[in-house]
Amino acid sequence: MHQRRAFLRWQDRARTIEGPAKRNEQGEVIDMSPVQRKFLEHFSFQCGYCTPGFVNATMVLLDKLKREPIAKDQIEATIMAALNDHICRCTGYMRYYEAVKDLVLATPGLVKDVA
């Protein structure tokens, strides 16, 4: 029983590709997350091999920026650092980067207004 409780606690913290989606009370997906939506708007997905890594890395980046917003001139370097270790077999990197940049700029509170 102890192992089951430990697994359930771990499962609550694990991020999956489906995790960011919005669900109803029955657990059915009813809407995509903003990350998933932006990736689709920018046609970032090709074969899908790298998608879970890019979605999860973007979710981690957004969480970080909510706690510690960055200056607008740091966006490119910050996105590059967050996504740089992920490999895309179809070389769709630019579409992922563009989608993340668009999302960061469109989400209030992630970028500091520097005068």
> By percentage, how much of the chain surpasses pLDDT 70?
79
Is pLDDT of 115 > 80?
no
Q: What is the pLDDT of residues 20-49, one digit of tens each?
A: 667 778 777 777 788 888 888 998 877 878
Paired strand residues for 29:
23
Q: Pick the most confident of 5-9, 28-32, 75-79.
A: 75-79
In the chain, what are the domains? 34-112 (1.10.150.120)
List CB contacts of 5: < 8 A, sequence separation 6 or more.
none
CA-to-CA separations, 62 to 20, 46, 65, 84, 102, in angstroms, rounded: 12, 23, 5, 15, 12
State how far the Cα of 50 lies from the Cα of 89, in Å rounded to an integer. 7
pLDDT at 46: 79
Check: CB of residue 75 under 8 Å from CB of residue 111: yes
The beta strand positions in 56-105, using DSSP E, are 70-71
